[in-house]
A and B are shown apart, each in its own frame.
Chain A
Amino acid sequence: MNKKHRMFIRMVMASLVRRRSRMIVALLAVVVGATILSGLEMIYYDVPRQMSAQFRSYGANVIFTPSGEGYIRPEDLEKGAAQFSSEELEGYTPYRYENTKIHNMPVTLAGIDFDSVLKTSPYWHISGSMPSLDGETLVGAKVAESLGIKEGDDITAVNTFEVTSETDTSDIPSYELYTDPESGETYCDHELDLHVSGILETGGSEEEYIYVSLKDAAALTISERGYDIVELSVAAMQDELSETVEKINGSSVGLSAKLVKRVTASESTVLTKLQSLVFIVTSVVLVLTMICVATTMTAVITERRKEIGLRKALGALNSSIIAEFMSEGLVLGGFGGVIGSVFGYYFAQFVSMNVFSSSITFRPLLIPITIAASVLVTGLACLIPIRSAVDVDPALVLKGE
């Protein structure tokens, strides 16, 4: 670096450091712009993740069904679920449906995993409590209303099935067995005593079932079998989900995967619109920032017209003056970009905590993007006032006109 370059840096730094009060005003304009830009960038890129998590409150978005006749085996379920990354997979709930009678009225009973069901159906509202022990049941509101069941009641579920030579009758009390006089076949009315821990209210078809644990469902039917359906909640975009679903269906896993289009399609639409909105807001902010910085820089440069006139009187060419003033602007833009990146993260964090109630993901790549944008915007904002300022007539300026 020769003496000329060193003097150039010395002048630029002296202007920035020794004119602190003026430069702080300009820096403030750049920092505010860079903060909002950086914050919106982070929100823009974090919206899909945040919204995917929010959309999970709408319930499952992927369903596993048996690939043919029969049921989903637990080991196939494990293989199918493993196709989604553990970060994306919020949870899954297997369902086993059985016909039963309560108070001699036919009711569909669903065996589920009470520990995981709220992950796939977070909208369930329970009056009372979620069953935590075997022998406890959750009754759908419509069933409860039609059968007059209340929270805290004890009920008996009866499952009727034909006893064949393959049926293990060792645990069946003899009074549950009877023979149909017409057909001569033996049937069993197997009973299961249940305590109603809560009433389920969803406003949907879920209210038409009673829910027991998978273990109680097996005890009621005296048979171990797979699942009829499995609901999965996956925090991922529709395209990504479709890809994984195709992959599962193309593999030899013994189940069939489907997207819940009603949920995934609306998620995708809302997300696209939300991202477009953030993009437009970011663009508008960028333009406003440029105007704001340009206005500030115009004021800062205008008050230095006399200095520009002096430099010209000392023999400075317009290109030298533009280079000096632009460098000041670019340093200001870079410095403002660094500060704005840090503040932007906290701004995005604040917005995320208040809107999505979760923290934002820090993306280091956005820092150089913010700094580059800040330098570019400040450079452009400086260019216009500098170009007009260098046209000053040194003789007039130095005379104070």
Chain B
Amino acid sequence: MSKLLELKNISKVYGDLHALDNVCLSVDKGEWIAIMGPSGSGKSTMMNIIGCMDKPSTGQVIFDGKDISKESRRKLTEFHRDKIGLVFQQFHLINYLNAVENVMVAQYYHSMPDEKEALEALERVGLKDRAKHLPSQLSGGEQQRVCIARALINSPELILADEPTGNLDEANENIVLDIFRQLHKEGTSLVVVTHDPEVGEVAQRIVRLEHGKIVSDKKNEQFSEQQEVSL
């Protein structure tokens, strides 16, 4: 399987603090990776670098064969807009736009807004009937599903999720994980940053970070089994 993303000897230094220390990681196309670790292990820093929202102090980020670690801010913005869909723990929906408008915002910055397509994306996460509701009228789980629909709308090559179930109850957590399973089945690459073992263990591969270093990187042996059980 060809590589979608490669982090080569990535370090990120804030003063004396090494948030990431000589990290190497590769993600294949269509792969589902969970990045796990305790608070302060460097998960968020790694997510920001993968999501093109931050640059490494040293090292290379190769995305789809292209080194993006030296690109300008503007180029990085354009790059992540075209290639990456973001899912946040806090959902981060625009509170004065309704569900379908929140999805269309991602289209607006990417290419051309299309309400029909946005409604289809909401239908995919089971929220078509809530399309005209404002975020304040949606439950946490529904808001996260809108956030996922927004991440999917531009057909990104990679879905990058930061603690996607951190604010959800068990029922909503299962709904979100089922959506991820579906996306993975359709060939979308997923990188999920989490400290929740239950969320990490449903991924195809689990990478553990501690003190800015990868301490383990192994395949989830039970992955195929789980996929079959859930789907």
Residues of A within 8 A of B (CB): 2-4, 6-8, 10-11, 14-15, 18-19, 306-307, 310-317, 320, 393-395, 398-400
Residues of chain B in range 39-86 having any CB-CB distance to chain A below 8 Å: 44, 48, 51, 53-54, 74, 77-78, 80-82, 86
Q: How many A-B residue pairs have CB under 8 A?
A: 72
24 contacts between A and B (CB under 8 A): A2-B112, A3-B113, A3-B114, A6-B113, A7-B107, A8-B108, A10-B101, A14-B101, A18-B96, A19-B96, A306-B92, A312-B77, A313-B51, A313-B53, A314-B81, A314-B109, A314-B150, A315-B78, A317-B77, A317-B78, A320-B109, A395-B48, A398-B92, A400-B90
B104 at the A interface (CB under 8 A): yes
Given A18-B134, A317-B74, are A395 and B53 neighbors across the interface (CB < 8 Å)?
A: yes
Contact call B109/A315, Cβ cutoff below 8 A: yes
Tell me which residues across on chain A come within 8 A of B134, comparing CB atoms: 18
Given A11-B105, A398-B88, are A310 and B96 neighbors across the interface (CB < 8 Å)?
A: no
Tell me which residues across on chain A come within 8 A of B168, comparing CB atoms: none
Contact call A15/B96, Cβ cutoff below 8 A: yes
Interface size on B, residues (CB 8 A): 31
Of the listed residues A10, A19, A393, the one surrounded by the most CB atoms of chain B closer than 10 A to its CB is: A10
Tell me which residues across on chain B come within 8 A of A18, comparing CB atoms: 96-97, 134
Q: Which residue of B lies closest to A309 (CB)?
A: B92
Tell me which residues across on chain B come within 8 A of A2, comparing CB atoms: 112
Interface of B is mostly: helix
Question: Least Cβ distance of B188 to chain A in Å?
Answer: 18
Q: Complex: how many Å from CA A331 to CA B12?
A: 43
B94 at the A interface (CB under 8 A): yes
Contact call A3/B74, Cβ cutoff below 8 A: no
Interface of A is mostly: helix
Question: Least Cβ distance of B109 to chain A in Å?
Answer: 4
Residues of B within 8 A of A (CB): 44, 48, 51, 53-54, 74, 77-78, 80-82, 86, 88, 90, 92, 94, 96-97, 101, 104-110, 112-114, 134, 150
Of the listed residues B54, B107, B113, the one surrounded by the most CB atoms of chain A closer than 10 A to its CB is: B113
Contact call B109/A316, Cβ cutoff below 8 A: yes
Question: Least Cβ distance of B141 to chain A in Å?
Answer: 20
Q: Complex: how many Å from CA A18 to CA B102?
A: 14
In order of increasing CB-CB distance, the 3 nearest A-B pairs are A315-B81, A18-B96, A7-B113
Tell me which residues across on chain B come within 8 A of A399, comparing CB atoms: 44
Q: Which residue of A lies closest to B48 (CB)?
A: A395
Contact call A4/B53, Cβ cutoff below 8 A: no
Tell me which residues across on chain B come within 8 A of A14, comparing CB atoms: 96-97, 101
Tell me which residues across on chain B come within 8 A of A11, comparing CB atoms: 97, 101, 105, 108
Q: Which of B54, B96, B112 contacts A4 (CB 8 A)?
A: B112
Q: Complex: how many Å from CA A11 to CA B97?
A: 7
Contact call B105/A314, Cβ cutoff below 8 A: yes
Q: Which residue of B lies closest to A306 (CB)?
A: B92
Q: Complex: how many Å from CA A400 to CA B91?
A: 12
Tell me which residues across on chain B come within 8 A of A320, comparing CB atoms: 109
Contact call A4/B77, Cβ cutoff below 8 A: no
Q: Complex: how many Å from CA A8 to CA B112?
A: 11
Given A7-B108, A314-B81, are A398 and B97 neighbors across the interface (CB < 8 Å)?
A: no
Of the listed residues A312, A315, A317, the one surrounded by the most CB atoms of chain B closer than 10 A to its CB is: A315
Q: Which residue of A lies closest to B134 (CB)?
A: A18
Q: Which residue of A lies closest to B54 (CB)?
A: A395
Tell me which residues across on chain A come within 8 A of B104, comparing CB atoms: 7
Q: Complex: how many Å from CA A4 to CA B104?
A: 10
Tell me which residues across on chain A come within 8 A of B77, comparing CB atoms: 312, 315-317
Q: Complex: how many Å from CA A281 to CA B109?
A: 45
Q: Complex: how many Å from CA A395 to CA B46?
A: 11
Q: Which of B82, B88, B107, B109 contacts A311 (CB 8 A)?
A: B109
Q: Complex: how many Å from CA A315 to CA B83?
A: 10
Q: Complex: how many Å from CA A400 to CA B166?
A: 15
Q: Complex: how many Å from CA A311 to CA B101?
A: 13
Question: Least Cβ distance of B177 to chain A in Å?
Answer: 22
Question: Least Cβ distance of A359 to chain B in Å?
Answer: 43
Of the listed residues B44, B107, B109, the one surrounded by the most CB atoms of chain A closer than 10 A to its CB is: B109
Q: Which residue of B lies closest to A316 (CB)?
A: B109
Tell me which residues across on chain A come within 8 A of B54, comparing CB atoms: 393, 395
Q: A15-B96, A394-B53 are in contact. List 18 more A-B contacts (CB 8 A).
A: A2-B112, A3-B113, A4-B112, A18-B96, A19-B96, A310-B94, A314-B81, A314-B86, A315-B77, A315-B82, A315-B109, A315-B110, A317-B74, A320-B109, A395-B44, A395-B51, A398-B92, A399-B44
Q: Complex: how many Å from CA A307 to CA B88?
A: 13
